[in-house]
Amino acid sequence: MAAVTMDLRILKSASDMNLIQKLEEIIWNMAPLPVHQTITAAQNGGLLLGAFIEDELVGFSYGFPGFHQGKGYLCSHMLGIHPHHQDKGLGALLKQKQKELAAEMGYDLITWTFDPLESRNAYLNLNKLNAVCSTYVENCYGDMDDNLNHGLPTDRLKVEWWITSSHVKEPLVIETADACNPYVWGISEDDFPVLLNPEWEDAERTVIVPIPANFQAIKNQNFELAMDWRFKTRAIFQKLFSKGYAMAAFQKGQEGLVHYYVLVQKDQLKLN
């Protein structure tokens, strides 16, 4: 059997953008981004990358320039992988190539958002890429009709990926054995995790916060419980961020039902 070859390419042309549109529809079953928008971004400081297997586009990332309070950065708005090629590490490869090329373009910060209850994204962003999160946005995109978001407030965490920082090159080693673990969870009648105690204890040390290991299963089978997780964790993260905490790692739970965000004081992290 011949070996499968995969390569990463910068996407610039209108035909490239048409390939992205087709892949978007396959991944999310929603209207794709217009070509005039993506190609304009590509020509004006943006960065679009494609992952190809034997000349078939199977993954892409889309980023455009952002600017806030005198600071320029790359806003990495979309990362999508064909369903047949997910869980193969393509997302991490695209992000690493994005980091390399963005640094060459003069960026030192890349930002994007993700759902705080999606554990797969959390693991990639915090553990594999060494990004951090300290901003919580309620219902960021309003109502969405795709399979992942339909019916839920689209709360998001804002990721900060300081691509030239010491933290990305050599992240802080965080010990969780003595971490503050105030958030008690139990098991529902349908065998899903339930957050029982969302109260926060005022402690100036590492804090761990549980989220469901499979939030989409809860959403599909117990929507009321999914909403409960959304609103309770929203309050927890907003309070922790207001106290100077940042998410710096993600820890898989031994129970198999929940995983944990690991938060430390943001000023402990070497982000410059």
User: Quick one: how far is CA 234 from the chain centroid?
Assistant: 16
Please give the mean pLDDT across all residues of the chain. Answer: 92
Residue 143 has pLDDT above 70, yes or no: no
pLDDT number for residue 1: 36
* Max CA distance (Å), the chain: 59
Give me the percent of the chain exceeding a pLDDT of 70.
Answer: 95
- Summarised one tens digit per residue, pLDDT across range 65-121 is 999 999 999 999 999 999 999 988 899 999 999 999 999 999 999 999 999 999 989
- Summarised one tens digit per residue, pLDDT across range 163-183 is 999 999 999 889 888 899 899
Residue 114 to residue 215: CA distance in whole angstroms: 13
Range 254-263 average pLDDT: 92
- Summarised one tens digit per residue, pLDDT across range 9-35 is 999 999 999 999 999 999 988 889 999
Residue 230 to residue 211: CA distance in whole angstroms: 10
Beta strands 156-162 and 109-114: pairing type?
A: antiparallel
Where exactly are the structural domains of the chain? Answer: 185-268
Cβ-contact 111, 66 below 8 angstroms: yes
C-alpha R_g of the chain: 19
